Amino acid sequence: MKKITLSVVSCLLFTVYCFGQINHELIPYVKEGKYGFADKNRKVVIEPKYQAAYLFYDGLAAVKTGDKMGCIDTKGTMVIPAKYDACGNFANGFGQVQISGKWTAVDKTGKELTALKYEMIYKFSDGLAPVQSGVKFGFINAKGEEVIKPVYATVTEFKDGSTAAMDDEGKISYLGTDGKKLFNKSFDDAFAFSEGLAAVKTDEDKWGFVDKTGALVIPAVYDYVGQFSEGLASVSKEYKFGFVDKAGKEVIALDYDWSRDFSNGFCVVEKDSAFGYIDKSGKPITDFIFDKAFNFSSDGLALVFNKGFMVINGKGSVVVNRMYDQIGEFKEGLAVVKKRRVMGLC
């Protein structure tokens, strides 16, 4: 088997901390202006023959043949025909395709769920995908049926069995998968439901949390709040952040300048313009020494930045200290990395 040097594909838009359901077994490489795929040992798996090639998501990767886009599987079989102007990433069994500015969704056999008629279509969650028709938003199901007509100014993706949908007057209501309101209340500002509770802003310009009956179960006394994650939600008063549990008890004191949500047992917090991590008891696992810090992955690793990207574990110890320019999310112990213009795996 041939081995190759993994060069960065110039048209790839690498993000630092989120690659989705990425396949780390195969990554794109370029040779003499053509793109193919190699495995983690740098062995060629799919010969270079494409004008562009992108990372694998949910088992499929977008490639460019001539001036058209399609998707291949990990064997190099073209399963989504190369006839589109653009292809989105696959997730939850579906991807998005576009011709002349109009989009639809396709399944993994290449079947189009609808005609190419939407201004945009987004990923499926809870069995539904947001679609944009003109300037309005609604939802289709896996059969391509408009189960919620595109009549809303904005919507969130379905989560916890509901979406937060804004009407033309700027009022936000919560809808179930049948399109009906969960309760007859609306809000000027609100987040999607997460772990059974949703953050809402009241007429008093304060934030609290409602349940799926619309009852305010955590009083609206905060200047800002996050969403519940792993049983805790970030809350803020007078520019200081801490955490409450689902009973509304402040279980981590409001001592921080900023925070993310908890992820895999840990949370990024900021103090005095530097970032560190705490566990769910509020105990710091690192000092506040990082310029940037990102959520822990399911592998128990997190990206941090000080003059370059490094990786720490759940004890706060640095386990990768090669100062990469970019590092993707770890999955099964591997991450896509970039240094200068070279891409590989670590």
In a domain, 230, yes or no: yes
Q: Decide: helix, strand or coil at residue 324.
A: strand
Q: Which residue has the higher pLDDT, 282 or 1?
A: 282
In a domain, 67, yes or no: no
Q: What is the pLDDT of residue 63?
A: 98
- Rounded average pLDDT over 147-169: 97
In a domain, 198, yes or no: yes
Query: Where in the sequence is the domain holding 218, given as residue range(s)?
Result: 187-258
**Given this model, what pLDDT does residue 19 score?**
35
Q: CA gyration radius for the chain?
A: 22
Determine phi and psi for 297, rounding to 5 degrees.
-85, 175
pLDDT above 80: residue 67 = yes
Residue with tokens 């919560």: 174
Task: Give the bridge partners for 269, in sequence order.
Answer: 259, 276
**Which pLDDT score is estimated for 309?**
80
> What CA–CA distance (Å, rounded) separates 177 from 139?
9
Kindly report the average pLDDT of the chain as a whole number: 89
Close Cβ partners of 15 (under 8 Å, ≥ 6 residues apart): 328
CATH number, residue 228: 2.40.10
Q: Are 161 and 196 in contact (CB under 8 A)?
A: no
Burial tier of 298 (Cβ tally within 10 Å: 0-12, 13-18, 19+):
exposed
CA dihedral over 17, 335, 73, 36, signed as positive or negative: positive
Q: Is the pLDDT of residue 241 over 70?
A: yes
Write the pLDDT tens digit of every residue in 318-334. 887 765 556 565 555 55
The residue behind tokens 């100014």 is: 153
Are 138 and 146 in contact, with CB atoms under 8 Å apart? yes
* pLDDT, tens digit (0-9, with 9 covering 90-100), for 160-207: 999 999 999 999 999 999 999 999 999 999 999 999 999 999 999 999
Tell which residue, 31, 33, 43, has the closest CA to residue 2: 43
pLDDT digits (tens, 9 = 90+) for 54-66: 999 999 999 999 9
Judge whether 286 lies within some domain. no
Query: In angstroms, how far is CA 31 from the centroid of its own chain?
Result: 31
Q: Is the pLDDT of residue 77 over 50?
A: yes
Q: Given pLDDT bands bounded at 50, 70 and 90, which one contains residue 42?
A: confident
In a domain, 203, yes or no: yes
Q: For residue 282, what are the CA distances in angstroms to 243, 267, 269?
A: 9, 9, 10
Query: Is 218 part of any domain?
Result: yes
Quick one: tokens of 125? Answer: 């969650």
Report the distance separating Cα 30 and Cα 51, nearest Å: 9
| 302 in a structural domain | no
Give residue 256's identity as a one-letter amino acid code. Y
Name the range with the highest mean pLDDT among 260-264, 299-303, 317-321: 260-264
Q: What is the 8-class DSSP label of residue 142?
A: T
Q: What total of structural domains would you count in the chain?
A: 1
171, part of any domain:
no
